[in-house]
Structures are given as C-alpha cells and as structure tokens.
Amino acid sequence: MNENLRIVVIGGGTGTSRLLKEVKAHTEQLSVIVSMSDDGGGTGVLRREIEALAMGDVRQCLSALSAYDERSKFLDYRFTDGSLKGQSAGNVFLAALEKSTHSFTEAIAVASEMLGCTGKVIPVTLDNVTLLMKWQDGTVLEGEHVIDDGEFIKDPRMADLTFKPNASLHTEAVNAIRDADIVVIAPGDIYTSIGPVLATEGVGEALAQSRSKKVYICNIKEKKGHTTGFSVTDHADELERIAGVTFLDAVICNTPQTGADVGLDAGQVAQAQYEVVASDIRAADVALVDDGSGVKRSQARHDAKKVIEELYSFYNRSNM
C-alpha cells in the first residue's frame, strides 16, 4: 500500500469513525470533512443554549484519529446525573474551546494536538446552519434531527437538501478535495450525514474538478423510511444528485446480500458510469445499537480492513 497517498474522507458518523481508525494506519496525509448541521441530542442543546457550532461529528472523528485510546475515551463519556445528564464530555470540551479561543477551527486544532490526532478534521462550513429538506409541493422538514427521526411520506429523491442560512464552504475543505489522491465517501445516512456535506454549495464543483479517485463505500443495510428499497446504485446515484454533479469513479459494496441488505441490481450496474466493486466487506462482529426502546439490536457493519484493501486495490488498478 502507498502510505504517501493524500486521502480525504467525507462522513462523520459511526461508520466513518471505524473507517478512520483503519485509514490512519496507512497514511498521515488524512483529512475528514464533516457535516455541521447536527442539531439533536447534546449537540442540539449546546447549539440552542450557548450558540455553539455543531460538534457531534467533529467529536467522533477526533476520537477515531487520536493516538491515545485513554485520552479519547473521555470524549464519548456521557454524564448520567444533574443538568448535564445525557451530555457528552467531548461536546462540552469542544464548546469550551470554541468559546475560549473564539474560533471553532482553533478549537479543533487544540483538541487535535492534545489527542495526538493523525490527520485533520475539517468542518464543511463554519456557519451556524439548519438543515432543510424541501419538496417542490412546498413540504419542508426543518432540522437534522427531524429529518433523521422521521419516515418520509414522500419520495426523498424528489427533495432538495438546503440550509438556513446558506452554508459557505470552508476553504480548507475545498483545498483538501482539490489536493487529494483519493476522496472516500464513507458509509452513513444519506440525508443527515453524507448528504449535508455534498449539498453544501461548492462541494460538488470541487469534487468534479479534483483529479482524485472518488469512491463511495455503500451502506450494507437500508435505513427504514429513508432508503427502503434502494439498491447499491440507487444510493450512489442519489449522492451524485445531491452534489449536483456526476463525480464517482467507483462504488465498493458488500456481497453476498441477505435479508434487508442493500441489493445489487445487475441491470443497473451495467448502466452505471462508475465501477462497482462487489466484495465480502461485512465485519464478522456486529454493533449493538439501542433502538430507542432500551433494547439493543444487532446492526451489520463494515470490516474496515477489508474496505481499505479494496480501496487501495481499485486505486492501484485504475492508475496502471
């Protein structure tokens, strides 16, 4: 593997964190561009009460990139009592750094140094924005947490992701995409994690102009009410629609599929303008996720090592 490759990851959630922990072992020239529209949970409280910027995805990525497991663990600690009940220590820490330095960029830099992070965490925008999902008939969902929690009555592929106010693209994000050898679209929720980055004005143009190889790591499972019935190429095509440009060079997806796995339609694959790499990239272990009722259910996830092997294999093959 070429350990000098400049790799940019677009994402922010749990799938991104798992991927970053593996990628950082192969390159120090690593950047992750994250959404800044999270307004649920503890992040939402801090945004409303002290006008802090959205730090939830930033916190998860800093934790994944840290060289010190013990130091990074405190970022994810959640208070169980008092006025901070349910709030993560990492959110409070980043909010304090933002307020004391008067700069969210500086807050990330200070936290990165303290945690010994490999690579950079880059907010896609430094504006305090609210995510909107709009249909042409006037239907609007406002707020990332509202969009995330709901089951769409209307086809989400007929809606636009926008922001209130408009989101100005962070210069560091443009530069990272422009200079990258590989841009990885990480697995994650299309409309609340990956989409808000791609929908930020200027990101699509930067991706289209970049000479990097752009690769999407497709989700293994559908998201109920959001991407129910979506095939692998449906996922990929929707990301390009949100970005407003065709930019993908490859899609890496899991096979074989079982049950509610995202399906692989041979006819759609044959017509795709990007290469589809189907491989067994499912992790042997599963994540246990609380579904909100207090019951933890298993959730399939990617084997990050296998994903990186496929990613590098595609990159080397496409540059021969």
Tokens describing residue 207: 């991706």
* Cα four-point dihedral sign 171, 177, 181, 187: positive
CB 210 within 8 A of CB 183: yes
Task: Give dist(CA 87, CA 9) in Å, integer.
Answer: 27
Tokens of 293: 């009722």
pLDDT per residue as tens digits for the range 90-143: 999 999 999 999 999 999 999 999 999 999 999 999 999 999 999 999 999 999
As a whole number, mean pLDDT of residues 142-156 equals 93
User: CA-CA distance, 36 to 223, in Å (whole number)?
Assistant: 21
pLDDT for 1: 61
| Domain chopping of the chain, boundaries | 7-36+124-318
Q: How far apart are CA 88 and CA 207, in angstroms?
A: 33
Q: What is the pLDDT of residues 211-231, one digit of tens each?
A: 999 999 999 999 999 999 999
Distances 315 to 55, 178, 208, 252, 263 between C-alpha atoms, Å: 32, 17, 17, 12, 24
Structure tokens at 55: 């730090």
As to burial, measured by CB atoms within 10 angstroms (0-12 exposed, 13-18 middle, 19+ buried), residue 114 is middle
* CATH architecture assignment, domain 7-36+124-318: 3-Layer(aba) Sandwich (3.40)
**pLDDT tens-digit map of 20-57:** 999 999 998 999 999 999 999 999 999 999 999 999 99
Q: What pTM does this model have?
A: 0.93
